[in-house]
């Protein structure tokens, strides 16, 4: 896969979402859609880090939590306008992402995975224990309804559009990065740090940038989650969520923004679908993952887009 800008596919997905929402009256399905979009925003962030720059992070839940708690604190303690509170949460997350990138910039692959995993665990412990700020595990914390300039927009239908705008913004920025020199610099750092440096790319700065933007988007996702859940505790920001995000990105496509969105919806929706399988739910989920990875190792999106070519080659043979 090269850096083809897959704008068209991304736009198609972004248009399909409101259509899907309009087709269902079921409040639960609508909530699943909204949660899927929230996850997609975070997945787009990780897609830039892992898919483009090759920087694996097993600590994304920490950024998600920083966004959620940052937003809640701004809104609840300082009475900040919700949109600004979300922005503040995302910026807090970005600042932390940027500052951990420097000590991490010498690490590669599994060492980086270990370090970010440790960061995620430490932040989880902080979230669970800094009870005066976060409410810890029990009772947790809660946030007022989402509103803009005093206008209540907290119904699921209204929240859908709020989150949709967030996803469109994330996809817009990530899509731009994918199709200009920033994306190429990130890809260059991933494929050969030495060659990247030899053409004038500041490798340390590129890594700091991608950690910052990845944390920003994941923090934005956390802020949206706060208004979606309204009441939550530290369990939402454990290692489990970091792993889920990783699955979304790997499953969808490592090299496409659209892949992150598709992956996010699969990981969000499949468990709901498999709910009918009762006891076999986890097993079915696991087997589905294995099958997808076995037959579409570069992700579902590339796998499906490559399917016509593969079939015609088989027909000729």
- From residue 103, alpha-carbon distances to 219, 268, 277 in Å are 21, 33, 45
Tokens at 157, concatenated: 């239908």
Judged by beta carbon, residue 39 or residue 255, the one nearer another protein is: 255
Judged by beta carbon, residue 125 or residue 195, the one nearer another protein is: 195
Based on the shown chain and the rule CB under 8 A, indicate whether residue 149 belongs to the binding site for another protein. no
The secondary element (H helix, E strand) that includes residue 222 is: helix 203-229
Based on the shown chain and the rule CB under 8 A, indicate whether residue 187 belongs to the binding site for another protein. yes
Residue 62: name the closest of 220, 215, 249 by CA: 215
Using CB under 8 A as the criterion, what x/- string covers residues 237-266 for binding another protein?
------------------x-----------
Residue 187: alpha-carbon gap to chain centroid: 19
Residue keyed to tokens 């900040």: 80
Judged by beta carbon, residue 160 or residue 209, the one nearer another protein is: 209
What does the longest C-alpha to C-alpha distance in the chain come to? 68
Based on the shown chain and the rule CB under 8 A, indicate whether residue 57 belongs to the binding site for another protein. no
* Binding piece for another protein, criterion CB under 8 A, among 65-73, 169-177, 220-228, 276-284: 169-177
Tokens at 150, concatenated: 């005093």
Count the residues of the shown chain that bind another protein, applying the rule CB under 8 A: 28
Q: How many CA atoms lie within 13 A of 232 on its CB side?
A: 24
Based on the shown chain and the rule CB under 8 A, indicate whether residue 3 belongs to the binding site for another protein. yes
Residue keyed to tokens 């899927």: 36
What distance in Å separates the CA atoms of residue 217 and residue 212, rounded to the nearest whole number? Answer: 9
Q: Which of 99, 129, 155, 192 binds another protein (CB under 8 A)?
A: 192
Residues 69-88 that bind another protein (CB under 8 A): none
The residues that touch another protein, with contacts defined as CB under 8 A, are 1-3, 173, 176-177, 179-182, 184-185, 187-188, 191-192, 194-203, 209, 255
């Amino acid at each position: 896969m090269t850096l083809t800008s897959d704008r068209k596919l991304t736009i198609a997905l972004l248009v399909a979402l409101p259509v899907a929402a309009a087709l269902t009256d079921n409040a639960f399905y609508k909530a699943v859609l909204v949660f899927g979009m929230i996850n997609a925003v975070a997945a787009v962030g990780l897609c830039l880090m892992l898919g483009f720059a090759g920087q694996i992070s097993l600590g994304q839940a920490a950024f998600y939590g920083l966004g959620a708690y940052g937003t809640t604190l701004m809104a609840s303690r300082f009475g900040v306008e919700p949109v600004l509170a979300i922005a503040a949460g995302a910026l807090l997350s970005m600042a932390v992402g940027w500052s951990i990138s420097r000590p991490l910039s010498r690490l590669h692959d599994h060492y980086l995975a270990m370090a970010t995993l440790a960061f995620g665990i430490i932040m989880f412990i902080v979230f669970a224990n800094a009870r005066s700020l976060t409410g810890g595990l029990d009772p947790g914390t809660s946030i007022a309804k989402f509103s803009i300039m005093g206008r209540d927009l907290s119904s699921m239908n209204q929240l859908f559009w709020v989150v949709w705008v967030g996803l469109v913004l994330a996809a817009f920025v990530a899509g731009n990065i994918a199709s200009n020199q920033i994306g190429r610099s990130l890809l260059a750092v991933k494929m050969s740090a030495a060659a990247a440096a030899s053409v004038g790319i500041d490798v340390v700065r590129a890594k700091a940038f991608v950690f910052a933007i990845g944390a920003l988007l994941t923090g934005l996702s956390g802020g949206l989650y706060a208004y979606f859940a309204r009441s939550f505790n530290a369990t939402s920001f454990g290692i489990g969520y970091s792993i889920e995000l990783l699955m979304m990105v790997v499953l969808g496509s490592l090299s496409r923004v659209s892949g992150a969105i598709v992956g996010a919806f699969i990981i969000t929706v499949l468990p709901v679908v498999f709910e009918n399988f009762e006891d076999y739910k986890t097993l079915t989920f696991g087997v589905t993952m294995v099958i997808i990875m076995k037959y579409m190792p570069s992700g579902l999106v590339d796998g499906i887009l490559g399917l016509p070519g593969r079939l015609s080659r088989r027909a000729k043979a």
